[in-house]
């Protein structure tokens, strides 16, 4: 009887660990969580409200201005940890089934600092972070670059970039 109680407790703990653990991709890597700006979150939630109320979703209005993709170290925050800033086209992404894909690649820029690339952010033309928490690597990440070992003055090239809505 005691053995059954212990096995039941072990099973319950194992289930709790699975439910509370971070998401894991099929190949075993942890899935990072992309973070959206408060303004974007509010607009997304307003869109939900509008659609529930029977309104029609419309494309954004206003003039497009080019933003940037900022590649940085694991300490990327504001000006800290920035390794390279790559200018984006005003129509730099396509959207399909909850996934945005950067087009016009490869894109490149000269590195402004040396270090190991680990994170990226997409910023608007005034430098405001729109999307953060993007992973950077040579494969299996949100932003694919030619090398994570970046040296100041050398070219950093983005060869692929996708962001999946989670």
C-alpha count within 13 angstroms, C-beta hemisphere, residue 141: 20
pTM: 0.71
Give percent of the chain with pLDDT exceeding 70: 77
Lowest mean pLDDT among 10-19, 69-78, 139-148: 10-19
Q: Is residue 16 part of a domain?
A: no
pLDDT of residue 1: 42
Q: Is residue 81 part of a domain?
A: yes
Say which residue, 46 or 138, is predicted with more confidence.
138
Whether residue 15 is contained in a domain is answered as: no
Report pLDDT for 29: 46
Can you tell me the distance from the alpha carbon of 81 to that of 78, in angstroms, rounded to the nearest whole number?
A: 8
Residue 92 lies in a domain: yes
**Is there a domain that residue 11 lies in?**
no
Q: Does residue 56 lie within any of the structural domains?
A: yes
Give the number of domains in the chain.
1
52 pLDDT more than 80: no
More confident residue, 67 or 27: 67
Average pLDDT over residues 139-155: 97
Residue 134, burial from CB neighbour count under 10 angstroms (0-12, 13-18, 19+): buried
Q: Do the domain assignments include residue 63? A: yes
Q: What is the pLDDT of residues 112-137, one digit of tens each?
A: 999 999 999 999 888 988 889 999 99
- Give the pLDDT confidence score for residue 51 in this predicted structure: 65
Give the structural domain span for 43.
33-164
Burial class (CB within 10 angstroms; exposed 0-12, middle 13-18, buried 19+) of 92: buried
In a domain, 120, yes or no: yes
pLDDT value of residue 48? 65
């Amino acid at each position: 009887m005691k053995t059954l109680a212990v096995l039941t407790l072990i099973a319950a703990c194992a289930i709790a660990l699975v439910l509370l653990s971070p998401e894991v991709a099929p190949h075993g890597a942890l899935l990072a969580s992309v973070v959206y700006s408060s303004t974007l979150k509010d607009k997304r939630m307003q869109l939900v409200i509008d659609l529930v109320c029977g309104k029609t979703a419309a494309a954004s209005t206003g003039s497009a201005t080019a933003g940037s993709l900022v590649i940085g170290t694991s300490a990327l925050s504001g000006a800290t940890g920035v390794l390279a800033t790559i200018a984006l086209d005003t129509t730099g992404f396509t959207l399909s089934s909850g996934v945005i894909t950067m087009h016009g690649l490869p894109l490149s820029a000269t590195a402004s600092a040396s270090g190991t690339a680990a994170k990226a952010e997409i910023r608007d033309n005034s430098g405001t972070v729109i999307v953060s928490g993007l992973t950077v690597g040579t494969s299996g990440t949100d932003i694919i670059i030619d090398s994570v070992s970046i040296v100041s003055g050398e070219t950093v090239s983005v060869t692929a970039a996708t962001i999946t809505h989670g």
